[in-house]
Amino acid sequence: WDTTTKRVFCSRDRFGIKPLFYFWNGNTFVFGSEINAILASGYVTATPNESIIHDYLVYSRIDH
């Protein structure tokens, strides 16, 4: 966190071995290299998105 510019810079490692997961709801920013860190924050629940599952199964589509 840069207190002067009020900005945060996050990145994953150079080789892409460790991913970067994040959650932003307009007020709270949570990040981690494992999805469990995001889930442990309490801001996100692990509930399936039926629409995305449908698209994946029917169209082999992955929403990035």
CA-CA distance, 64 to 60, in Å (whole number)? Answer: 13
Q: What is the pLDDT of residue 62?
A: 67
Encode pLDDT of 6-25 as tens digits: 999 998 888 888 899 999 99
Residue indicated by tokens 């998105």? 49
Q: What is the pLDDT of residue 32?
A: 93
Q: What is the pLDDT of residue 33?
A: 92
Residue 26, both tokens: 């307009």
Residue 64, both tokens: 């990035």
CA-CA distance, 56 to 62, in Å (whole number)? Answer: 6
Check pLDDT > 70 for residue 63.
no
Encode pLDDT of 27-62 as tens digits: 999 999 999 999 999 999 889 999 988 888 998 866
